[in-house]
């Protein structure tokens, strides 16, 4: 099944909060400008470069200057990332960073759960061709207990609440994953970019991605609900059962059984409870109202405030999609609506890079 191997990582000679960033696809324009100004070597200069060729030039320049260094022996990395849970309690999400062979979906080794779009893949492919290195980790899930743990020593790399331990001898890791199927949690566009890149090249190293692999049983693994907000849709009236107020509606939504979909429609200060078909997910229920005028937010108060201010016509509030449901649908080969999942927190970009010129 999954081909997971150690790799010779590239990383900053001096990792620090000033050089790391969130994944490129969750960074706003304003935040991008702040990241670029923070440090001339911030990873955003690579991951969000307007010109892919310039990103490739910078990456090689940073290697030549010693800003980036390359390990001379392959290793697995154990990752620990600080998480503030929904209840506000601090905890850690743990994973393994390794090199994963990108397999076409039809082989059912790596399974997706969300639809992709051509333009982001084309953009990422131009960047990958220019840099010839995986600049950001992709997030995958697997079932079972982690086959390797962090050593009881200080981390080798640390920044922005993420710690990494280099483990050079971990033969149990490739063996463990050889029997497993893995699910793409975050990074569908970048995974399909890797498949496109591999189709253009013939060397074994050209088909690899940098994977953060997290167990579905990890206590720090959390999915946030992604609410739908509609503008330019004044006639959108989802119907549903009237609720006394929004608080009553949210309480009723939380009490609904998972055997069927449910959501709260909030418009004109009025909340109604929607119920879907047995076996349907909340995101599939609200997906029936189309994509015209839609935006997404994990911030429930923001969704409500947009409607209250008149900046939006309707908000459809959903429950977090359960990880077991995501895996089940993916195994059946079903692709779910956009923004079905929002794994929290996002991975940190800039701590490790995976060169493809082995």
Residues 179 and 303 in one domain: no
Residues 126 and 183 in one domain: yes
Residues 293 and 202 in one domain: no
SS3 286: helix
The whole-number pLDDT of residue 87 equals: 66
Structure tokens at 357: 């010129």
Structure tokens at 110: 């790596």
In this structure, the number of other CB atoms found within 10 A of the CB of residue 131 comes to: 23
Paired strand residues for 164: 79, 157
- What span, in angstroms and rounded, lies between the C-alpha atoms of 330 and 181? 11
Residues 184 and 289 in one domain: no
CA 72 to chain CA centroid, Å, is 29
- Residue 210 sits at φ, ψ, to 5 deg, of -85, 115
Domain membership of residue 309 as a residue range: 225-319
Structure tokens at 128: 């990958």
In this structure, the number of other CB atoms found within 10 A of the CB of residue 340 comes to: 22
pTM: 0.91
Residues 39 and 99 in one domain: yes
Short-list 260, 257, 256, CA closest to 280:
260
CB 103 within 8 A of CB 110: yes
Structure tokens at 53: 């060729």
Residues 106 and 241 in one domain: no
> How far apart, in Å, are the Cα atoms of 353 and each of 4, 6, 77?
16, 13, 12
Structure tokens at 141: 């899930």
Residues 128 and 210 in one domain: yes
Residues 177 and 269 in one domain: no
Q: Is residue 216 part of a domain?
A: yes
- What span, in angstroms and rounded, lies between the C-alpha atoms of 315 and 305? 10
The whole-number pLDDT of residue 218 equals: 93
Residues 217 and 246 in one domain: no
The whole-number pLDDT of residue 88 equals: 72
Q: Which DSSP string corresponds to 232-280?
A: S-TT-----EE-SSHHHHHHHHHHS-TTEEEEEEEETTEEEEEEEEET-
The whole-number pLDDT of residue 345 equals: 87
Cα-based torsion angle of the residue sequence 20, 58, 207, 78 in order, rounded to the nearest 10 degrees: -30
Q: Is residue 278 part of a domain?
A: yes
Where do we find the tokens 């280099």?
166
pLDDT mean for each 10 residues of the chain (358 residues): 96 96 93 97 97 97 98 97 80 96 95 90 97 97 94 96 95 95 94 96 89 95 94 95 97 97 96 96 95 95 97 97 90 86 91 89
> How far apart, in Å, are the Cα atoms of 160 and each of 5, 186, 213, 294?
26, 19, 19, 32
SS3 77: strand
Q: Give the strand pairing for 241-242 and 270-278.
A: antiparallel
| DSSP label of 36 | H
Structure tokens at 267: 């418009």
Q: Is residue 324 part of a domain?
A: no
> How far apart, in Å, are the Cα atoms of 156 and each of 43, 63, 166, 351?
19, 19, 6, 11
- What span, in angstroms and rounded, lies between the C-alpha atoms of 332 and 46? 37
Start-end of H helices in the chain:
29-38, 44-47, 52-65, 118-131, 172-177, 188-200, 246-255, 282-287, 300-308, 323-331
Structure tokens at 208: 């690899």
Q: What is the number of domains present in the chain? A: 2
- What span, in angstroms and rounded, lies between the C-alpha atoms of 189 and 172? 30
Residues 140 and 272 in one domain: no
CA 76 to chain CA centroid, Å, is 20
Q: Is residue 271 part of a domain?
A: yes
Residues 178 and 46 in one domain: yes
């Amino acid at each position: 099944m999954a081909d997971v191997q150690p790799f010779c990582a590239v990383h900053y000679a001096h990792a620090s909060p000033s050089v790391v960033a969130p994944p490129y696809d969750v960074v706003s324009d304003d935040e991008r400008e702040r990241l670029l100004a923070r440090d001339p070597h911030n990873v955003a200069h690579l991951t969000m470069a307007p010109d892919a060729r310039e990103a490739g030039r910078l990456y090689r320049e940073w290697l030549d200057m010693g800003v980036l260094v390359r390990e001379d022996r392959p290793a697995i990395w154990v990752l620990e990332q600080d998480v503030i849970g929904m209840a506000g309690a601090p905890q850690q999400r743990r994973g393994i960073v390794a090199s994963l062979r990108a397999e076409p979906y039809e082989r059912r080794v790596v399974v997706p759960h969300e639809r992709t779009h051509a333009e982001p893949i084309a953009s990422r492919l131009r960047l990958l061709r220019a840099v010839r290195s995986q600049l950001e980790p992709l997030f995958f899930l697997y079932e079972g207990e982690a086959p390797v743990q962090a050593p009881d020593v200080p981390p080798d790399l640390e920044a922005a609440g993420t710690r990494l331990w280099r483990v050079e001898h971990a033969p149990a890791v490739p063996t463990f994953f050889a029997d497993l199927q893995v699910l793409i949690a975050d990074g569908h566009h970048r995974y399909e970019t890797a498949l496109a890149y591999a189709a253009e090249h013939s060397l074994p190293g050209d088909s690899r991605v940098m994977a953060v692999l997290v167990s579905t049983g990890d206590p720090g693994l959390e999915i946030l609900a992604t609410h739908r907000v509609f503008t330019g849709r004044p006639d959108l009236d989802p119907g549903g059962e009237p609720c006394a107020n929004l608080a009553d509606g949210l309480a009723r939504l939380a009490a609904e059984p998972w055997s069927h979909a449910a959501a709260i429609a909030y418009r004109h200060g009025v909340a109604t409870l929607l119920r879907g078909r047995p076996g349907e997910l909340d995101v599939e229920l609200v997906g029936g109202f189309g994509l015209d005028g839609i935006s997404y937010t994990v911030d429930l108060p923001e969704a409500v405030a947009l409607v209250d201010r008149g900046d939006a016509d309707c908000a459809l509030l959903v429950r977090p999609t359960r990880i077991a449901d995501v895996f089940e649908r993916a195994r059946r080969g079903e692709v779910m609506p956009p923004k079905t999942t929002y794994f929290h927190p996002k991975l940190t970009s800039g701590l490790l890079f995976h060169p493809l010129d082995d």
